[in-house]
Amino acid sequence: MKIGELARKSGLTPSAIRFYEEQGLLAPISRTAAGYREYSNYAMERLHVIQVSKRLGFSLDVIKGMFGENGQCLKKEILERTETRLLEVEEQQEALARQHRELLALRAILRDESVSRPFCENLAVN
């Protein structure tokens, strides 16, 4: 299939597909006699893996490392990278929960009519 059809089927733009190809995330494609890129159905599956991985927060370099030399997914690599990503997400959740608690406390203080105006002067701005 040509790049336009692959773009329509995948929901990506042709330029995004060419970018993934340039970055080594898509295996080299064949070209027609007229010079058009021609992709196999395998490219569609690969683009789906890339899109899901990006949505889960993996970088393009990490995604590239999830595939072996033959283009197949490496289960061990994906599992290791998934464990790492889960730890990152949990750390972000903890940081957000801490910020949420602090914002709720600040809002309560600011809504308290008995707190005088000088409170704002004591807020440190970096």
**Same domain, yes or no: 57 and 99:** no
**Same domain, yes or no: 49 and 95:** no
Residue 58 resides in a domain: yes
Using a 10 angstrom Cβ sphere, with 0-12 exposed, 13-18 middle and 19 or more buried, the burial of residue 52 is exposed
Residue 15 has pLDDT above 70, yes or no: yes
Residue 122 to residue 8: CA distance in whole angstroms? 56
Radius of gyration of the chain (CA): 24
pLDDT of amino acid 121: 60
pLDDT of amino acid 67: 86
Q: Which two tokens stand for residue 68?
A: 């072996």
Read off the pLDDT of residues 31-76 as tens digits, 9 standing for 90 and up.
Answer: 888 888 888 888 999 999 999 999 999 999 999 999 888 778 889 9
Residue 78 resides in a domain: no
Range of the domain at 90: 83-126
**Same domain, yes or no: 91 and 40:** no
SS3 category, 2 = strand
> pTM of the full predicted structure?
0.74
Higher pLDDT, 122 or 7: 7
**Same domain, yes or no: 96 and 69:** no
**Same domain, yes or no: 19 and 56:** yes
**Same domain, yes or no: 57 and 1:** yes
**Same domain, yes or no: 90 and 59:** no
Read off the pLDDT of residues 22-32 as tens digits, 9 standing for 90 and up.
Answer: 998 987 678 88
**Same domain, yes or no: 5 and 37:** yes
Residue 33 resides in a domain: yes
Residue 122 has pLDDT above 90, yes or no: no
Read off the pLDDT of residues 69-107 as tens digits, 9 standing for 90 and up.
Answer: 877 888 999 999 999 999 999 999 999 999 999 999 888
**Same domain, yes or no: 47 and 89:** no
Does an H or E element contain 89, and which? helix 75-111
- Please count the structural domains in the chain: 2
pLDDT of amino acid 126: 42
